[in-house]
Each structure stands twice: as C-alpha cells, then as structure tokens.
Amino acid sequence: MKIAIASGKGGTGKTTVATNLAYIASRNGQSVAYLDCDVEEPNGHIFLKPQISESRPIGNLIPEVNEAACIHCGKCGEICQYSAIVCVGEKVLVYPELCHACGGCMLVCPVDAITENPREMGKLETGRSGAIQFVQGLLNIGEVMSPPLIKEVKAAAPEVDLVIIDVPPGTSCPVIESVRDSDFVLLVTEPTPFGLNDLKLAVEMIRVLKLPFGVVVNRADVGDRETISYCDRNHIEILAEIPDDRQIAEAYSRGEMACEAIPKYGSVFARLLSDIGEKARASAR
C-alpha cells in the first residue's frame, strides 16, 4: 500500500504525520519504507535519523548543439514546449534548467546536429532508520525541475508492506508526480484562512486525479471551525484532529517524533493508520 501525505501549503505538520505513521507501522510489525519526495527541502531525516548507506548522483539528458552542423532551421525550438532550446538568428541557445529531457529536439533535427549529454541535478540517498527503509532526494540549489528526481525517489522504493510518501507542499507538478499511483492521499491542514484556502486547492487537485483521500486537521483546537465546516459540506472525511499541544511543538524542535516523546499519541497515529488502511481497501474494491 502506498500512502501519500500531502498538504496545500507548507508548515501544516505534513512531515510530522508522515514520520509518525511510518514509525507506528514499523513498531506494529509492518515492513515500511519512507520516501521523502520533498526534494527541495527534505526534513524527514531530522526525525527518523537514518543511517545512509548509499548516495548517488541523479541527472537528466540535456541537448548539446553542434553549431558547425546546425542549419538554424528552428525546428528544435518549435517542438520544445518549455523554451529550453531556442534558435535566435545564427545561434542556438540551450537553457538546461528548463529542459524536461524529452529528446524531442534531437528527434526533429534534420541534420543530426543535436546530441544529449548527462547533467547532474541532485542526488538520491537510501538507508535505514531502525526497521524503516529510508529514501530521499536532494535537489541541487538553483534547479527548478524536481519531478525527474521525484521519479527516481519513487523508483527506489523497496518491496514492503507499506510505503509512506512525504509529498512537497502545494498543488503543482512536483506534488502531482509524488501522489501519482498512490492508494490513498492524506491531506494535512490547519484551521486558518490560509490553510483552508490551500486545502480547497489540494482537494480539487486530488479529485481531478480521482484518488481516494481524507483529511487530518493539525492544531485543530485553535482558530475557527470553518475548515471543519468546509469538510462537512463537501463530504470530506476528517480522519484525525491533532490538538495544539505544546509538547508536540517541543518534541518537534528537538527533532523527536511525537509518538516517542509523548506516548499517548501512539494510539492516535495507530488509529489513523488503521482508518487509512480501511479507506484505501474499500476504495480498491
């Protein structure tokens, strides 16, 4: 089973929920893999504290133009939907950061003036945190294309009972790539105007993707009840409400998981994990 932990905005407690679910599942005897797909700023390692056993570079193929052979027909620029390659007069400009490595420019070149060369965009790390198998991607600073690295993180997932995917915040391409093929998406939100606004965007995205989902409201006892009312009106199930507990915040600041630092939350996350499993299996039927 693949469970994606997502949020419409950052700072809602997504990683807190993801790491605690992985911990509880492993403690209950399941084989678990935690995938940190928030490759621009992964922080699951702060709480799981894995021993990294392998680190390897990840790259994609970038076009290189042989100006001596190029006839400057402009076909490469015409096929590129991202303006990663542009023919300007007698010069072809390549912007590696924008390239999606589709190979289209090389295919349409009538004189075979384009080749592809690898370019490193980040790295993939794997290891273990106790019984939890750990995978994370680290995007190089300045890179704007994270989906290729996210694909590599997901491809590195081992064969286990449960895969927990820590998804980047937002609703853009990296999020869609992260939640794709998940059995269930858990949206973590907070009861604030910004939290509600971004929850609505995330719900719209997940519904377009036709994935089963539920909501966790973090810091549920602060702010107003509009988030709860929105979920009720739209028949969205709230699977858990986590209180604004100072002990959780203190544990977080020390890099500790709530389940370890505050034992009473073990039952909260165990119940949440059980409910997610039931919802995912019911949806599969």
Tokens of 152: 């590599």
Maximum CA extent, the chain = 70
pLDDT the model gives residue 224? 78
Closest to 168 in 3D by CA, of 202, 125, 142, 215: 202
Examine the pLDDT at 97 and tell me if it is beyond 90. no
pLDDT higher than threshold 90 for residue 252: yes
Ordered by where they begin, the domains of the chain are: 2-58+122-284 (3.40.50.300), 60-120 (3.30.70.20)
The 10s digit of each residue's pLDDT in 123-149 is 999 999 999 999 999 999 988 889 999
For 24, phi then psi, to 5°, come to -65, -45
Q: Residues near 212 by Cβ (< 8 Å), separated by ≥ 6?
A: 183, 184, 185, 279, 280, 283
- Tell me: the pLDDT tens digits for 198-242? 999 999 999 999 999 999 999 998 877 899 999 999 999 999 999
| Start-to-end Cα distance in the chain | 14
> Three-state DSSP class for 74?
coil
Strand order in the sheet with 51-65: 51-65, 114-129, 132-139, 32-36, 162-166, 2-6, 184-189, 213-218, 238-242
91 phi and psi angles, rounded to 5 deg: -135, 140
Beta strand 91-94 with 85-88 is antiparallel
Which of these, 142, 179, 160, lies nearest to 7 by C-alpha position?
A: 179
Beta bridge partners, 186, equal 5, 214
Share of the chain above pLDDT 90, in %: 90
Q: What are the structure tokens assigned to 88, written together?
A: 């300007």
- Kindly state the DSSP code that residue 83 receives in the 8-state scheme: -
Instruction: Say what the pTM is.
Output: 0.90
* Angstrom distance (rounded) from CA 135 to CA 129: 10
> pLDDT tens-digit profile of 32-86?
999 999 999 999 999 999 999 999 999 989 999 999 999 999 999 999 999 999 9
- pLDDT at res. 283: 83
DSSP 140: P
Burial of 80 (0-12, 13-18, 19+ CB in 10 A): buried
In this prediction, residue 222 carries a pLDDT of 84
pLDDT in tens, 150-204: 999 999 999 999 999 999 999 999 999 999 999 999 999 999 999 999 999 999 9
Q: Is 137 helix (H, G, I), strand (E, B) or coil?
A: strand
The rounded distance, in Å, linking the Cα atoms of 217 and 191 is: 7
Nearest to 35 by CA among 4, 65, 57: 4
Which residue bears the tokens 């807190």?
16
